[in-house]
Amino acid sequence: MKKFRPQPGFVVQAYRFALDPNAVQERALRSHCGAARAAYNWAVGWVTASWWQRRAEESYGIAEAGLTQWRPWSLPALRKAFNETKHTDPRFAAWWEENSKEAYNTGLANAAAAFDNYTKSKQGKRHGKRMGTPRFKSKRKARLSCRFTTGAIRVDTGGRHVTLPRLGTIRTHEPTVKLLARTQAGTARILSATVRHERGRWYVAFQAEVKRDLERVARPDVAVGIDLGVKTLAVMADSTGEIRTVANPGHYDRARKQLRRASRIVSRRQGPDRRTGQKPSKRWEKANAARNRVHHRVANLRTDALHKLTTSVAAEYGTVVIEDLNVAGMLRNRRLARRIADAGFAEIRRQLTYKTRQRHATHLVAADRWYPSSKTCSGCGGVKAKLPLHVRTYECDTCGLVIDRDDNAALNLAALAAACLTGTGVAGDQDTTEVVSKPRGADHKTRATRTRRKASAGRAGGATLPHQRQEEARDRTHAEALTLR
């Protein structure tokens, strides 16, 4: 599938609206999402069946020329094979006509993308954590989602209904005038629609090509450095020396007492048991729904607060400097994981990335992960060798400056904007400009401990753990499939 590229002056933007389907429409929505999951599982089983068949044939000594052929996993190949199978396969023959073809295409496209990601990860062409082979989706755990790319996809003239293929006209919980006005004026074109069940509600997200003019920021010549934290969500220091603090709302901490009470009520009801096949009672379902509403409210409050923060920052400053934080590593700290996850560091950077690029054309700079923003003196530039986390006040040994630790880090981040815009920075991520600085070797990782060195020596000597041996055996089975493609 070719990647869509918008025309000059247009951007691809999503408009999401909550739905209010009736009982019949909700059953149809669940049926389409279940069809997408079934098609995904069929594709995963169809492709991997040839892998295990070849492995079994090799164990019998069959030559390479006589082995079963590899099955392709491209979207056209999966779609062709599925269309040939759905009429006779007992898993689909009785009910596949009840849903739109887009439901099955959603599952096949997701399976093709999963196999492509696995291939690129094995070949070293994909960043991030190594991905394993695609696995089957559980009916109990899989998220309900379905994407429509063809057919009747529109926002109706009343501003309170949307039309989707095979699902018909569905009322929305909120007005759709933002997208309706643009489509009627000819400044927006709907490309696709995705229905999804999330936080106890059904949502539809329209992907549209929108003509958007860049808005001028309030202070285009001012740069701001943002230091994120737990006790204080953000400390923003601009190039004029002004420092502003944004308190951490702590939505989850505020709701913990209510969550404890709701969870206690759920634990006293008769819940489901997969081992014995016990069904949950009506009282358990009612109590569980009440507990979920608390979680959903916390998530909605967090999302609203982060959007308001990032929108105000992107609309005010001409240059925004943020940190490239290792959020996944920070979450391993069991003492701070809950507060870090509640703050939403990664979500702040994600929102700033697209808002500065598509709405205001603001310069977004990401400081290098090993840049010592907290250890560097914002007055004289001296760098401390050590600065423990519990020390919240920075005291410079050279010039005697005494300043709050977070304020000092924000001032140093704001100073990096001048280095980047004058050409001394080094290009980094595709969405940001990454500034690399190496004062006193501060960009080097912490030295390995004795335990880690012994474990590395053991692995170098050939000692492997049981789960590592299983992964190596599975990788050898799939390696040939990747080399022949």
Of residues 475, 481, 473, 479, the one with CA closest to residue 47: 481
β pairing state of 317-323 and 363-367: parallel
- Alpha carbon 477 to chain centroid, angstroms: 30
Whether the Cβ atoms of residue 310 and residue 358 lie closer than 8 Å to each other: no
Q: Is 407 a catalytic residue?
A: no
Per DSSP, 65 falls in state G
Q: What is the rounded distance in angstroms from the CA atom of residue 404 to the CA atom of residue 396?
A: 11
Q: Which of 238, 316, 323, 368 does the annotation list as catalytic?
A: 323
Q: Is 443 a catalytic residue?
A: no
Whether the Cβ atoms of residue 210 and residue 182 lie closer than 8 Å to each other: yes
Whether the Cβ atoms of residue 321 and residue 416 lie closer than 8 Å to each other: yes
Q: What is the rounded distance in angstroms from the CA atom of residue 69 to the CA atom of residue 472?
A: 23
Q: Which of 316, 342, 368, 406 does the annotation list as catalytic?
A: 406
Q: Which of 102, 227, 316, 342 does the annotation list as catalytic?
A: 227
Of residues 301, 320, 288, the one with CA closest to residue 218: 320
Q: Is 397 a catalytic residue?
A: no
Report helix angle 75-85 to 23-59, nearest 10.
100
DSSP, collapsed to helix, strand or coil, labels residue 300 as helix
Report helix angle 101-122 to 75-85, nearest 10.
140
Tokens of 379: 């007055």
Under the phi-then-psi rule, with left for phi > 0, alpha for psi from -120 to 50, and beta for the rest, what region is 208?
beta
Catalytically active residues are 227, 323, 406
